[in-house]
């Protein structure tokens, strides 16, 4: 029987001990003596969040298909266990073998959102791995990062030996082969990193030096090791059907956030919303083959026993075989007690028809993401959704029996005026009006329109990467304008408005577009007690404020400034295919309130066609 | 067709709580392709009822739940398929058909449970100082006198209040065994006695004021009252019948 790293006394004292015992259905056990590489795959948040992430399941499955690799999982210990591990000096361990991370060859950390950065330091410290690369010895695991936040790795540069830029399916095999070879030849850590730096898509931060201008902006960013290339190329899988997919994903004992089979139908998005990083970094849009997806769905439901299947993509409605796939899923599985969930769907006749068949409309709500209240603002962000489309969609939904609608907005978008803010309330009201146009005897009581706004954070590799942010006070002022506007609407009793916290937004802004100097702030904040910053119950803004003061780093340098056209960005050494000139052109079109058509209507020459696949070559065979 | 599944829970799975065990079985039954019946509606769920929730930290050799089948499947095949799809920590022991009447299913029929408080260690608190009796020796020696008491009052805490209860009538049997102390206690929705409460009382009786953390808590079996017809037992002298014995094997021909 597997021996657990934690004893009964500890496991019975902490919240949800199942987070730490491993041994779940489809988790992979191997004999450590029979493998060459031990890889600890980490999602730096609690188990239930981390287990819901598709990317890790894909890599876990892919790595473990290799006989010479054993990939295990590790997540952030919640604060209760964190305290015990420190007190009792118990090293952090991987779930499968329950053995210390310290003994592994690699610690891979996925970077999904900025507010998990202090959790990364917790993982390193509890694993007894020195925080900084320069302090690590030959025996320490190699710490490698990947995921969307790796597209600006600079704030984390000091803490990672390597970053993998792009989709994991392309060069991990090469990286492992190189590592094995180096290990066999008895090469040093440094020698391995030099070999790794030569692999396309691998970034070794210690081989690069930034220099700064007097105004603190970046002057140059150059390799200082001959093995390191000037630009690091994003990795893209040209043909998704050539990749592996986890047909037997790990099934947690406790309820994870995603307690269902997740079927990735496509990567990338044709829409080109100007605030959206995913829409740029995952270009070109590539679809998966519908017949393959049908087989995957069947196999995954059988191997997991999940009672729900969900389609995953940035914009499901743009998947060309959506009707065929959804019809298949309904016909095949609905009678077998399997629920089907379809997030990120555009509201139209087809989707309403499907939703009526798969959910109880009395209980469910329909979600629209207009992102902005006024048409002007939607043109600025290139959200190709008109007010007529929103109101028609809502109208159809109301006729179909729905009474609850959720609306998502962003506040603090570039060029936003008070008029734009107030339009959030006005649009919500017009949706409600559409409901009350239905004759009284045909509708079911009141409607419930819930609008919520988050504050916009400009991200690297988007047309808004030049945009200034606001101060936390300004964000709150804008939220209160919207709130006030809601209270003045005709149907205010049917409207609800929620907004997000502004302090976290500002921090996220600093980390998203930060440079290497921001690393000190993260470390300082962590030392002062910041941890689980994405959780409202554990977020401690004062630690961060203190950290900025202690390190002399001015957060406003990163947030409030509109960046100059010629400014060199910390992430410019990464080549994502989409060109900086294209992003700049999009920024100017945003300021001119001009909409850019989506990839299927017209190619705008962003640069992603270089990858030789996907939407760029549709109908061109 | 109503069926009862008996399973064992051990190892790391003792840290999985009751609700998660339910979820585990819902998924296991699907993986094993057992033809379970569902409720109708937008979010259909399995018709499933558990006999008696097991607390976190306890292991068990005698856990039960009942399901409803849409079509029959032989006991042997069902056990084989479920064990092929389970993980280390949960083993399926039997899969039997039970009476259709609602009153014979689920929690309502549970009247007693067997527990073993297994010695985790015995040389604690200085009790094994050479010449002194060890901890297990003290408890074993005091047990007969403990049981001879006409009443054993303990403070029972509920969510709302605490009250003094006499637990003596709820202890059906108790004896010292090589590996621990065996207890047969009242269980179910009418009267339910936790083994920890009994052992704490025994410790106090043996002048050990604080029960040391020296047991593995293990459930052995669950029982229904045997004086019912459904049991169909010839030996009316038995007071209890295991939930398993209330069911019968489903043969290959589904007879």
**CATH number, domain at B40?**
3.30.70.580
A524 falls within a domain: no
Report the greatest alpha carbon distance in chain B. 69
Residues of chain A with C-beta less than 8 angstroms from the C-beta of B23: 253, 255
CATH number (domain holding residue A290)? 3.30.750.210
Token pair of A207 as six digits: 């081989």
**End-of-domain residue from the set A485, A500, A515:** A500
- Are residues A371 and A471 part of one domain? yes
Interface contact A617, partner B, CB < 8 A: no
Give the best residue of B15, B28, B47, B82 to mutate against chain A (max A CB count within 10 A).
Answer: B15
User: Which residue bears the tokens 């898509």?
Assistant: A201
Query: Alpha-carbon distance A373 to B15, whole Å?
Result: 49
Contact between A307 and B26 using a beta-carbon 8 Å cutoff: yes
Query: Alpha-carbon distance A372 to A410, whole Å?
Result: 6
B197 falls within a domain: yes
- Are residues B101 and B125 part of one domain? no
Contact between A307 and B31 using a beta-carbon 8 Å cutoff: no
A535 falls within a domain: no
Q: How far out from the chain centre does Cα A99 lie? A: 29
Query: Alpha-carbon distance A297 to A354, whole Å?
Result: 18
Residues of chain A with C-beta less than 8 angstroms from the C-beta of B44: 337
Task: Provide the residue range defining the domain that includes A286.
Answer: 260-358+576-621
- Are residues A384 and A265 part of one domain? no
Interface contact A360, partner B, CB < 8 A: yes
Contact between B16 and A25 using a beta-carbon 8 Å cutoff: no
- Are residues A269 and A216 part of one domain? no
Contact between B20 and A2 using a beta-carbon 8 Å cutoff: no
Query: Alpha-carbon distance A612 to B124, whole Å?
Result: 70
- Are residues A351 and A369 part of one domain? no
- Are residues A377 and A337 part of one domain? no
B230 falls within a domain: no
Helix, strand, or coil here: A465? helix
pLDDT of residue B237: 46
Number of domains in chain A: 3
- Are residues A200 and A136 part of one domain? yes
**B126 pLDDT more than 60:** no
The Cα angle at residue A60 between residues A58 and A65, in degrees rounded to 5: 95
**End-of-domain residue from the set A453, A474, A500:** A500
pLDDT of residue A80: 97
Mean pLDDT of chain B: 86
Residues of chain A with C-beta less than 8 angstroms from the C-beta of B85: 25, 305
B242 falls within a domain: no
Contact between A23 and B16 using a beta-carbon 8 Å cutoff: no
Q: What is the CA radius of gyration of chain A?
A: 25
pLDDT of residue B235: 46
B251 falls within a domain: no
**Distance in Å, alpha carbon of A48 to nearest chain B alpha carbon:** 13
Number of domains in chain B: 2
> Over the stretch B40-78, which tens digit does the pLDDT of each residue have?
777 778 888 998 889 899 999 999 999 999 999 999 999
A391 falls within a domain: yes
**B119 pLDDT more than 90:** no
- Are residues A166 and A28 part of one domain? yes
**Distance in Å, alpha carbon of B149 to nearest chain A alpha carbon:** 33
B186 falls within a domain: yes
**Distance in Å, alpha carbon of B34 to nearest chain A alpha carbon:** 11
Residues of chain B with C-beta less than 8 angstroms from the C-beta of A357: none
A517 falls within a domain: no
Query: Alpha-carbon distance A505 to A500, whole Å?
Result: 8
- Are residues A439 and A320 part of one domain? no
B235 falls within a domain: no
Contact between B44 and A337 using a beta-carbon 8 Å cutoff: yes
Contact between B88 and A305 using a beta-carbon 8 Å cutoff: no
- Are residues A16 and A104 part of one domain? yes
- Are residues B150 and B83 part of one domain? no
Mean pLDDT of chain A: 95
**Distance in Å, alpha carbon of A339 to nearest chain B alpha carbon:** 7
Do A557 and A214 form a contact (C-beta atoms < 8 A)?
Answer: no
Interface contact A302, partner B, CB < 8 A: yes
- Are residues B142 and B88 part of one domain? no
A29 falls within a domain: yes
A530 falls within a domain: no
A570 falls within a domain: no
- Are residues B134 and B163 part of one domain? yes
Query: Alpha-carbon distance B171 to B183, whole Å?
Result: 7
- Are residues B91 and B9 part of one domain? yes
- Are residues B66 and B129 part of one domain? no
CATH number (domain holding residue A481)? 3.30.750.200
**End-of-domain residue from the set A233, A251, A272:** A233
Contact between B88 and A304 using a beta-carbon 8 Å cutoff: no
Q: Provide the H-helix boundaries in A42-188.
A: 47-50, 54-65, 79-87, 117-126, 172-184
Q: Provide the H-helix boundaries in A497-564.
A: 502-512, 518-527, 541-551, 555-559
**Distance in Å, alpha carbon of A370 to nearest chain B alpha carbon:** 29
Secondary structure (DSSP) of chain B? -EEEEEEEE-GGGGGS-HHHHHHHHHHHHHHTT--B-B--SSS--B-EEESSPPPTT-EEEEEEEEEEBSS---HHHHHHHHHHH--TTEEEEEEEE--SSGGGSGGGGEEEEEEEEEES-S--TTTTSTTSPPHHHHHHHHHHHHHH-S--EEEEE-SS-EEEEE-GGGEEEEEEETTEEEEEEE-SSS----HHHHHHHHHHHTT--S--S-EEEEEEEEEEES-SGGG--S-TT-SEEETGGGSEE--TT--
Do A12 and A108 form a contact (C-beta atoms < 8 A)?
Answer: no
Phi-psi region of A166 (alpha: psi -120 to 50; beta: other; left: phi over 0): left
Q: Which of A2, A8, A358 sits opposite B57 (nearest CB)?
A: A8
A565 falls within a domain: no
Q: Find the chain B residues whose C-beta atoms sit closer than 8 A to any C-beta of A.
A: 10-13, 15-17, 20, 23-24, 26-31, 33, 38, 41-46, 56-57, 85, 87-89, 213
Residues of chain A with C-beta less than 8 angstroms from the C-beta of B27: 25, 251, 304-307
> Over the stretch B134-159, which tens digit does the pLDDT of each residue have?
777 888 899 999 999 999 999 887 77
Query: Alpha-carbon distance A545 to A530, whole Å?
Result: 11
Query: Alpha-carbon distance A473 to A544, whole Å?
Result: 17
B221 falls within a domain: no
ipTM of the complex: 0.92
Helix, strand, or coil here: A98? coil
CATH number (domain holding residue A147)? 3.40.50
* Count of CB atoms situated within 10 Å of the CB of A315: 18
- Are residues B96 and B145 part of one domain? no
**End-of-domain residue from the set B59, B84, B109:** B109
- Are residues B100 and B166 part of one domain? no
Task: Provide the residue range defining the domain that includes B52.
Answer: 2-109
- Are residues B138 and B95 part of one domain? no
Q: Chain A: residue nearest B217 by CA?
A: A8
pLDDT of residue A367: 87
- Are residues A32 and A172 part of one domain? yes
> Over the stretch A23-40, which tens digit does the pLDDT of each residue have?
999 999 999 999 999 999
Residues of chain A with pLDDT under 50: none
Q: Which of A1, A337, A358 sits opposite B11 (nearest CB)?
A: A1
pLDDT of residue A132: 98
> Which residues lie below 8 Å from residue A537, measured CB to CB, with a gap of 6+?
none
**End-of-domain residue from the set B57, B75, B109:** B109
**B104 pLDDT more than 90:** no
Q: Chain B: residue nearest A95 by CA?
A: B12
Give the best residue of A16, A303, A337 to mutate against chain B (max B CB count within 10 A).
Answer: A337
- Are residues A280 and A171 part of one domain? no
Closest alpha carbon to A198 in A148, A247, A233: A233
**Distance in Å, alpha carbon of A536 to nearest chain B alpha carbon:** 26
Query: Alpha-carbon distance A485 to A482, whole Å?
Result: 5
- Are residues A92 and A229 part of one domain? yes
- Are residues B61 and B34 part of one domain? yes
> Over the stretch B170-219, which tens digit does the pLDDT of each residue have?
999 999 998 889 999 999 888 889 999 999 999 899 888 777 777 889 99
**Distance in Å, alpha carbon of A252 to nearest chain B alpha carbon:** 9
């Amino acid at each position: 029987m597997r021996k657990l790293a934690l004893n009964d006394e500890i496991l019975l004292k902490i919240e949800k001990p199942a987070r730490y015992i491993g041994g779940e259905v489809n988790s992979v056990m191997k004999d450590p003596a029979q493998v060459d590489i031990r890889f600890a795959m980490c999602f730096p948040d609690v188990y239930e969040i981390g287990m819901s992430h598709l990317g890790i399941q894909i890599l876990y499955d892919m790595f473990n298909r290799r006989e010479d690799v054993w990939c295990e999982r590790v997540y952030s210990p919640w604060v209760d266990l964190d305290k015990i591990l420190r007190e009792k000096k118990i090293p952090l361990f991987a779930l499968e073998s329950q053995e210390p991370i310290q003994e592994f060859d690699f610690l891979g950390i996925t970077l999904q959102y900025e507010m998990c950065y202090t959790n990364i330091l917790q993982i390193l410290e509890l694993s007894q791995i020195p925080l900084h690369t320069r302090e690590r010895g030959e025996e320490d695991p190699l710490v490698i990062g990947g995921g969307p936040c790796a597209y600006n790795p600079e704030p984390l540069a000091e803490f990672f030996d390597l970053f993998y830029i792009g989709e994991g399916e392309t060069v991990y095999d090469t990286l492992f082969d190189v590592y094995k070879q180096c290990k066999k030849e008895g090469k040093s850590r440094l020698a391995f990193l030099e070999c790794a730096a030569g692999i396309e898509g691998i970034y070794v931060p210690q081989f690069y030096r930034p220099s700064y201008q007097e105004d603190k902006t970046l002057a140059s960013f150059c390799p200082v090791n001959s093995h390191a290339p000037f630009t690091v190329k994003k990795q893209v899988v040209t043909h998704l059907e050539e990749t592996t997919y986890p047909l037997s994903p790990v099934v947690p004992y406790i309820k994870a956030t995603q307690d269902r089979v997740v079927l990735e139908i496509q990567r990338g998005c044709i829409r080109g919303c100007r605030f959206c990083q995913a829409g740029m970094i995952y270009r070109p849009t590539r679809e998966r083959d519908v017949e393959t997806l049908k087989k995957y769905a069947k196999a995954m439901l059988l191997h997991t026993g999940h009672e729900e299947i969900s389609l995953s993509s940035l914009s499901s409605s743009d998947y060309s075989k959506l009707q065929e796939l959804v019809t298949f899923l309904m016909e095949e599985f609905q009678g077998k007690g399997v629920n089907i969930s379809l997030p990120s769907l555009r509201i139209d006749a087809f989707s309403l028809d499907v939703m009526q068949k798969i959910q109880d409309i009395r209980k469910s709500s329909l979600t629209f993401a207009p992102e902005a209240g006024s048409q002007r603002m939607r043109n600025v962000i290139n959200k190709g959704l008109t007010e007529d489309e929103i109101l028609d969609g809502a109208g159809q939904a109301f006729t179909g029996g729905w009474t609850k609608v959720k609306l998502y907005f962003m506040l603090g978008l570039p060029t936003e005026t008070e008029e734009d803010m107030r339009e959030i309330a006005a649009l919500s009201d017009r949706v409600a009006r559409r409901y009350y146009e239905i004759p009284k005897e045909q509708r079911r009581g009141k409607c419930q329109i819930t609008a919520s706004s988050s504050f916009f954070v400009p991200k690297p590799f988007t047309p808004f990467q030049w945009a200034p942010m606001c101060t936390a006070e300004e964000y709150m002022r804008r939220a209160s304008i919207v709130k006030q506007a809601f209270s003045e609407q005709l149907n205010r009793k049917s409207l609800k408005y929620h907004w997000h916290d502004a302090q976290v937004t500002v921090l996220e802004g600093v980390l998203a577009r930060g440079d290497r100097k921001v690393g000190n702030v993260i470390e300082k904040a962590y030392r002062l007690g910041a941890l689980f910053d994405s959780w409202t119950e554990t977020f401690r803004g004062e630690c961060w404020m203190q950290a900025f003061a202690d390190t002399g780093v001015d957060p406003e340098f990163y947030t409030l400034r509109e960046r100059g056209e010629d400014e060199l960005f910390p992430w410019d050494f990464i080549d994502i295919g989409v060109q900086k000139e294209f992003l700049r052109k999009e920024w100017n079109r945003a300021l001119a309130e001009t909409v850019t058509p989506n990839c299927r209507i017209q190619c705008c020459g962003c640069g992603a066609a270089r990858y030789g696949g996907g939407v760029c070559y549709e109908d061109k065979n | 067709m109503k069926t009862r599944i008996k399973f064992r829970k051990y190892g790391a799975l003792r840290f999985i709580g009751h609700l998660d065990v339910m979820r585990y079985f819902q998924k296991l039954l699907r993986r094993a392709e057992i033809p379970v019946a569902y409720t109708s509606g937008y979010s259909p769920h399995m018709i499933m009822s558990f006999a008696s929730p097991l607390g976190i930290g306890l292991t068990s050799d005698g856990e039960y739940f009942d399901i409803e089948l849409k079509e029959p499947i032989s006991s042997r095949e069902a056990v084989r398929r479920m064990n092929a799809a389970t993980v280390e920590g949960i083993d399926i022991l039997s899969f039997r058909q039970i009476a259709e009447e609602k009153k014979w299913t689920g929690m309502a029929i549970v009247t007693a449970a067997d527990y073993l408080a297994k010695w985790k260690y015995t040389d604690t608190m200085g009790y094994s100082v050479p010449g002194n009796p060890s901890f297990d020796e003290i408890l074993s020696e005091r047990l007969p006198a403990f049981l001879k008491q006409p009443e054993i009052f303990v403070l029972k805490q509920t969510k709302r209040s605490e009250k003094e209860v006499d637990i003596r009538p709820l202890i059906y049997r108790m004896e010292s065994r090589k590996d621990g102390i065996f207890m047969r206690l009242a269980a179910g929705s009418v009267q339910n006695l936790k083994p920890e409460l009994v052992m704490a009382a025994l410790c106090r009786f043996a002048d050990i004021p604080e029960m040391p953390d020296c047991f593995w808590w293990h459930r052995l079996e669950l029982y229904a009252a045997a004086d019912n017809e459904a049991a169909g037992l010839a030996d009316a002298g038995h007071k209890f019948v295991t939930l398993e014995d209330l069911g019968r094997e489903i043969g290959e021909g589904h007879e």
